[in-house]
Amino acid sequence: MKKIEVLFNKDTRSGFGEGLLEAARKNENIVALCADLIGSLKMDAFIKEFPERFIQTGIAEANMIGLAAGLTIGGKIPFAGTFANFATARVYDQIRQSVAYSKKNVKICASHAGITLGEDGATHQILEDIGMMKMLPNMCVINPCDFNQTKAATLAIAAYNGPVYLRFGRPVVPNFTNVDDVFEIGKGSIINEGSDVTIFACGHLVWKAIEAGYILSDKGINAEIINLHTIKPLDEKLVLSSVRKTHCAVTAEEHMLFGGLGESIAGLLSRNFPAPLEFVAVNDVFGQSGKPEELMIKYGLDAPDIVNAALKVLERKNN
C-alpha cells in the first residue's frame, strides 16, 4: 500500500472555523448563528471580523434553527452551529419542517459529533445524527475526515444551494488531505487503489481505515480505501464500481450501525450487487466517559477492528 503522509495534526472543527471565515470573506450574505458554544465551534475569528453578521441565540437551539430558516428568506446563508446532539436530536422537528421540507438554504454545522467527544459521556456523544439527517428529504449529509477536508467542505456547502448537515469533531487527529484537494459534494475519493477488499469510511474513521490498510498490506492483502465524506447523496457509482472489482467490503464510521453510512451502502449493494459486507460502527449501545482513543477501542472503532472485519468478508468471499 502506498504511504499516506500525515501533514500535521489538528481538530476538524478548526477546519470548519477557518472555512467559515474564508467563505464569509467571499460572500457577504453568509451569517453565523451559535447557541452558546462559540469557542467550541471555533467561530471566534469569524465573529471578530464580522461581528454584525454573527447572531448569538443563547441556549435555545429550536429558535436558532427557526431563525436560520427565516434568514434565508431575506437571501442570507446561515451557518447554524452547536454540538451535534443539540444540532439534530434536540431540534429534529424544527429541521424537518422549517428547513428540510421548506427547502431552506440553512447549513447545520455540528461539532463534537460521535464517541470522540470523550469525557463528557453519552449525553453528548451523539451516534444517531447521520441517520436522522439522511432520512430527511432534501437534506445533504457530509462528514469530512480531517482539518483540510472540513475546511474545503465548509467552503463547498457555502456555494451549494440547499439544506446541509455538516458533521465534524473535537479531537486532534492526523491531517492527510492536501490543502488544494478538490472537494466535490457527493463525490468520494479513492485514497488507495486495491483489488482484494474495499473499505468505505467517513469522518475520523478514514484515518483508521488507512492504518488498517497498512496492517492488511503486511498480510499480503491489497485493500481499496475510499473516503465517502458525503453520506447523502451517496456516490453510488464509485461504491458499485469498487465492489464490482473487489467483491467484498467493509464500512467504517463513528456512528451507530443503524442509520449510518454502512446501512446506506448495504442497501445499495443489496439492490445492485450483493457482496459480503461487514460494519465497523457502534452496535446499538450508548457510549460513556473516557479518552477518545480509549473509547474508539472500547466500541470497536479502531484499525484492528477494521482489519478483522476485512478478514471476515475476505473469508466469505473466498468460500
Partner 1 sequence: MTVKELQKIATQVRRDILRMVHAVNSGHPGGSLGCTDFMVALYFKILNHKKEFSMNGYNEDLFFLSNGHTSPLWYSVLARSGYFDVSELSSFRRLHTRLQGHPSTDKNLPGVRIASGSLGQGLSAAIGAAMAKKMNKDQCLVYCLTGDGELQEGQVWEAAMFAAAKNIDNIIAVVDYNGQQIDGPVDKVMPLGNLKAKWESFGWDVLEMNGNDMNETVNMLYIAKEHTKKAKPVVILMKTEMGYGVDFMSGTHQWHGKAPNDEQLKNALAQLEETIGDY
Question: Which residues are part of the catalytic machinery?
Answer: 61
The reply to whether 69 sits near partner 1 by the rule CB under 8 A is yes
The reply to whether 75 sits near partner 1 by the rule CB under 8 A is yes
Contact with partner 1 (CB under 8 A) among 6, 25, 49, 93: 93
CA distances from 235 to 212, 228, 256 (A): 22, 8, 20
Contacts 24+ apart (CB under 8 A), 20-25: 20/46, 20/79, 20/109, 20/154, 21/45, 21/46, 21/49, 22/151, 22/154, 22/155, 23/154, 23/155, 23/158, 24/49, 24/50, 24/53, 25/49
Interface characters, 15-54, with partner 1 (x: CB under 8 A): ----------------x--------------------xx-
Contact with partner 1 (CB under 8 A) among 36, 40, 102, 211: 102
Q: Tell me, by CB under 8 A, how many residues bind partner 1.
A: 31
The reply to whether 142 sits near partner 1 by the rule CB under 8 A is no
The reply to whether 62 sits near partner 1 by the rule CB under 8 A is yes
Confirm if 145 and 252 have CB atoms less than 8 A apart: no
The reply to whether 104 sits near partner 1 by the rule CB under 8 A is yes
- C-alpha cell of 268? 445499495
- By beta-carbon proximity to partner 1, the closer residue of 98 and 198 is 98
What pairing do the DSSP bridges indicate for beta strands 140-142 and 164-167? parallel
- By beta-carbon proximity to partner 1, the closer residue of 77 and 221 is 77
Confirm if 102 and 94 have CB atoms less than 8 A apart: no
- The minimum distance between CB 83 and partner 1, in angstroms, equals 17
CA distance 35 to 287: 24
- The minimum distance between CB 66 and partner 1, in angstroms, equals 2
The reply to whether 60 sits near partner 1 by the rule CB under 8 A is yes
CA distance 108 to 88: 9
The reply to whether 55 sits near partner 1 by the rule CB under 8 A is yes
- The minimum distance between CB 287 and partner 1, in angstroms, equals 27
The reply to whether 74 sits near partner 1 by the rule CB under 8 A is yes
- CA quadruple 146, 131, 128, 35: dihedral, nearest 10: 70
The reply to whether 103 sits near partner 1 by the rule CB under 8 A is yes
Q: How many Cβ atoms sit within 10 Å of the Cβ of residue 39?
A: 10
Confirm if 170 and 185 have CB atoms less than 8 A apart: no
- The minimum distance between CB 39 and partner 1, in angstroms, equals 21
Footprint of partner 1 on this chain (CB under 8 A)? 31, 52-53, 55, 57-58, 60, 62-63, 65-76, 78, 93-94, 96-98, 101-104
